[in-house]
Amino acid sequence: MESIAKQLITLAVRAPSGHNTQPWQFSVEQDTVRIYPDLSRRLPVVDPDDHALFISLGCALENLVIAAAHQGLAAGVDYFPSDEPEECLRVRLSEDADEETDALFQAIPERQSNRGTYDGRAIDDSDLARLMDAHFRDSVKVRAFRVGHPDIEPIIGFVREGNIAQFNDPAFVAELVSWIRFTRREVSDRQDGLAAVALGFPAVPRWLGRWIMTTLVRPEGEAARQEKAIRSSSLLLLFIARGNDKQHWVDVGRSFERIALTATSLGIAHAHVNMPCEVAPIRRRLAVHLGLDDGEQPLLLIRLGHVRKRLPTSPRRPVERVMREP
Ligand SMILES: Cc1cc2nc3c(=O)[nH]c(=O)nc-3n(C[C@H](O)[C@H](O)[C@H](O)COP(=O)(O)O)c2cc1C
């Protein structure tokens, strides 16, 4: 079982994470895999309460569960059990999987965030229904906004505000720059972070990249670029946690990963336009605008659509670097 568990972890680490921080560690003990948050990889500026960190953990957990089912293994998940000495997600593998996950499994290595301009083609209703079916209804709500429908306009307005607020904040830009890997050498040395090519920038030395990010990239220009990207897409999906705690955050990640993998299996691309969920006062106004109940939190916003060109796959640290003793 231990060697199968290590294979499952190879797929778990293909999960998306905020700024590609990969904020996870794993241990394996007989039939049990534990996933620990790696708090040394926090993003204190953009994610001060760590909700995005736990969403990322949920994405890794979901990949693991899907990969286990593909091997015929059921995965029983305990969220942050109190009998563990350290905070973790505990996954017990047993031999009675009853879920067919082939399409999702095949999509794990294919899924990627594609920040390019899409071709404007609509996602048809049957594909939208399959996407909306893919999430955990008890803990997460998902709302869809079609490009071209008047309801999307205020949401695009919130994205714009969030973008401008973030790029006007030197601490946000400094944190972002610290996670951009400007050269191929930086990518291969670190195997984490945002490769410049994946952001649509040329590979340049770090000093030049930092200069471009702090002097040439302007808040208004960045907001206009994101708005154009949204208008080239087919729809936005907003993930709303029904409660504001770690378990709900993990479930947002699980839901998002299922939908992202379903989209990938249908040939649909996705990218985050998360800014209004990341800036707390804008997040609160977004919740009011949507008439959400007390405690419900809009935590993740993605755009989906069609695009011809895949981007280079973003790096991951090898499994040995994320393993620890149980
Ligand atoms: C919780 C979370 C928040 C994210 N926020 C953003 C974001 O605001 N902007 C963005 O371009 N990508 C965002 N991403 C996408 C990550 O940057 C991306 O997953 C990571 O770079 C790895 O690349 P990949 O998805 O292509 O494997 C986010 C991902 C997660 C899981």
CA of 77 to the centre of ligand 1 (A): 24
Residue 173 has a pLDDT of: 95
Q: To the nearest whole percent, how much of the chain has pLDDT over 90?
A: 84
What gap in Å lies between CA 218 and CA 207, rounded to an integer?
A: 18
Q: Is the CB of 279 under 6 A from ligand 1?
A: no
- Whether 56 is in the pocket of ligand 1, judged by its Cβ within 6 Å, is yes
The first and second tokens of residue 114, run together, are: 């594609």
171 and 224: one domain? Answer: yes
Q: Does 119 map to a domain? A: no
pLDDT at 283: 98
Tell me if 306 sits within 8 A of 119, measured CB to CB.
yes
> What pLDDT does 265 receive?
97
Please state, in angstroms and rounded to a whole number, the distance separating the CA atoms of residues 191 and 133: 34
Same domain, 272 and 148: yes
Testing ligand 1's pocket by substitution, the residue of 274, 302, 307 carrying the most ligand atoms inside 8 A of its CB is 274
Q: Is 276 in the pocket of ligand 1 (CB under 6 A)?
A: no
Q: What is the pLDDT of residues 205-250, one digit of tens each?
A: 888 888 888 888 899 999 999 999 999 999 999 999 999 999 999 9
Domain membership flag for residue 149? yes
pLDDT at 2 over 80: no
The residue whose CA is least distant from atom 21 of ligand 1 is 20
- Nearest CA owner, ligand 1 atom 14: 18
Res 53 pLDDT > 80: yes
CATH number of the domain bearing residue 232: 3.40.109.10
CA nearest to 55, candidates 80, 32, 83, 23:
23
Residue 286: the pLDDT is 98
Q: pTM surpassing 0.95?
A: yes
Is 175 part of a structural domain of the chain?
Answer: yes
Q: Read off the pLDDT band of 3 (50, 70, 90).
A: confident
Instruction: State the residue range of the domain holding 8.
Output: 2-112+314-322
Q: For residue 170, what are its two tokens?
A: 């030197």
Taking the CA of residue 14 as reference, the ligand 1 atom at the shortest distance is 27
137 within some domain: yes
Q: Is 27 helix (H, G, I), strand (E, B) or coil?
A: strand
Residue 160 and residue 51 in one domain: no
Pick the closest to residue 252 from 291, 285, 206, 299 (CA basis): 299
The mean pLDDT of 180-207, rounded to a whole number, is: 89
